[in-house]
């Protein structure tokens, strides 16, 4: 989100020191690490406009931490996803029935009621299929050049 203190610091030149894990590791990283240790595949696909908006560049810089925790991240330029049927909002599919939608304002902020959990096996299956199509088009983080 645009008022994220980390994003504001990043805009002012601050970069995470990945050698100092204690300075950036957080609860999300713990959850991912623990899930990956149980054999759960944690995958994130980012459909992005190019050139990347500064916030997407910030996310790109932070992705090293996600990967360190055990996530697999791919980047999908919108041109590669133009013919895919994808949801109009950010989301997570957690299992075969639970979906979390993130709803943002027009300014890019998470809306006050922006987290919507839905338990619906049919919806989770549909969204998982859409994700697989996006994933196939994605460029692994290690290969994606945001420049």
Alpha helices in the chain (DSSP H): 5-11, 27-37, 54-69, 78-81, 121-137
- pLDDT at position 107 is 85
| pTM, to two decimals | 0.93
Check whether 3 has a pLDDT greater than 90: no
- pLDDT at position 140 is 98
Quick one: average pLDDT of 91-112? Answer: 93
Check whether 114 has a pLDDT greater than 90: yes
Check whether 1 has a pLDDT greater than 80: no
Domain boundaries of the chain, sorted by first residue = 5-12+20-143
Distance CA 11, CA 1 (A): 13
- Mean predicted lDDT score pLDDT of the chain: 96
| pLDDT band at residue 108 under the 50/70/90 scheme | confident
Nearest to 73 by CA among 47, 104, 99: 47
If you ran DSSP here, which 8-state letter would residue 22 be given?
G
- pLDDT at position 118 is 98
Q: What is the CATH code of the structural domain delimited by 5-12+20-143?
A: 3.30.870
- pLDDT at position 37 is 97
- pLDDT at position 53 is 94
Partners of residue 77 on adjacent β-strands: 48
């Amino acid at each position: 989100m645009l008022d994220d203190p980390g994003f504001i610091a990043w805009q002012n030149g601050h970069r995470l020191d990945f050698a100092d894990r204690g300075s950036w590791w957080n609860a999300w990283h713990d959850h991912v690490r623990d899930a990956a240790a149980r054999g759960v595949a944690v995958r994130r696909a980012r459909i992005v406009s190019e050139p990347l908006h500064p916030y997407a560049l910030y996310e790109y810089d932070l992705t090293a931490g996600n990967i360190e925790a055990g996530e697999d991240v791919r980047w999908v330029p919108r041109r590669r996803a133009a013919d895919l049927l994808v949801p109009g909002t950010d989301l997570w599919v957690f299992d075969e029935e639970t979906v979390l939608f993130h709803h943002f304002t027009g300014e890019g902020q998470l809306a006050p009621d922006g987290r919507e959990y839905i338990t619906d096996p049919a919806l989770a299956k549909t969204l998982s299929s859409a994700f697989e199509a996006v994933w196939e088009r994605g460029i692994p983080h290690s290969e994606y050049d945001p420049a």
